[in-house]
Amino acid sequence: MTDIAAIAKQIEPEVKSLGYELVRVAMIGGSSDPTLQVMAERPDTRQLDLSDCEVISRRLSDWLDANDPIEGGYRLEVSSPGIDRPLTRLKDYADWAGHDARISLKEPRGDRKQYSGTLQGLDGETVRLSGKDGQDYELPFADIASAKLLLTDKLINATAPLSTEGAEHIETLEEQE
C-alpha cells in the first residue's frame, strides 16, 4: 500500500520551489486504475490555471520518474482545489472563516460524526464552527477526517476568477429571454 502522507512530504518541496502551495495529495480510482491526485494553489490568489497545472505536472512527473515512490502504474493528475475545496491544512480554517463547510470527524463525538455550518476560524488547533443547528462547536483539528467548503453564493463571489477576459461574451439566461 502506498504511503500518501510520505509522498506528500516528499513532493511538497518540489511544488513550493515552483512558488505554489500543496493543498492535498490523494490516491484515487482503486487498484485497477489508480490516479495520484495533487491539488495545489498560488498562495496569493488561491487559484491555479491550466499553465500552472502544466508547470507542476512536468516537475512532479520528472521527480516521480526519478524517485519511483509508487509501486506499479498510475496516472498523475494536477489540479486546483476548486471552489468547494477540501480543507486539509489548519490555516484553511482561518483563511475561509465566514464560509460554510461540512466537517467529518474520525470518530463520533457523542452521537455525531458530521457537522455543517459557518467556519468561525481557529482557537489554537481547534476549529470553531457555528452549526446550522444554531449551536457553536469546537472541533480539534487532529480529530477531523475530512472537510470541505460548501458551494454558496458568498463563496462563488469570494472565489471569482481573477481574469474576466472573455466575460463580455457570456450570455445569461436573463439575456436570452
Instruction: Tell me what percent of the residues of the chain surpass a pLDDT of 70.
Output: 90
- The grid coordinates listed for 89 are 491544512
The answer to whether residue 157 is domain-embedded is no
The reply to whether 48 and 97 lie within a common domain is no
Tens of pLDDT, residues 3-35? 899 999 999 999 999 999 999 999 998 878 899
The answer to whether residue 168 sits within a structural domain is no
Does residue 146 or residue 71 have the better pLDDT? 146
84: nearest Cα among 150, 146, 152: 150
CATH of residue 94's domain is: 2.30.30.100
> Are 15 and 59 part of one and the same domain?
yes
Q: Quick check: 106 and 144 in contact, CB under 8 A?
A: yes
Q: Is residue 166 part of a domain?
A: no
pLDDT of res. 162: 54
Residue 49 corresponds to which cell in the numbers above? 490555471
Question: pTM to 2 decimals?
Answer: 0.80
Measure CA of the first residue to CA of the last residue in the chain; give whole Å: 55
**What is the number of structural domains in the chain?**
2
Indicate the residue among 60, 79, 98 that finishes a domain. 79
Write the CATH number for 15: 3.30.300.70
pLDDT in tens, 61-83: 999 999 999 888 999 999 999 88
Return d(Cα 165, Cα 141) in angstroms, integer: 39
Give the SS3 label for residue 74.
Answer: coil
Q: Domain containing 26: what range? A: 4-79
176 domain-assigned: no
Q: Name the domain boundary from 38, 59, 79.
A: 79
Q: Are residues 99 and 60 in the same domain?
A: no
Share of the chain above pLDDT 90, in %: 74
109 and 132 inside one domain: yes
Q: Are residues 31 and 60 in the same domain?
A: yes
Q: What is the pLDDT of residue 3?
A: 87
Tell me what the pLDDT averaged over the chain comes to: 89
| pLDDT recorded at residue 1 | 60
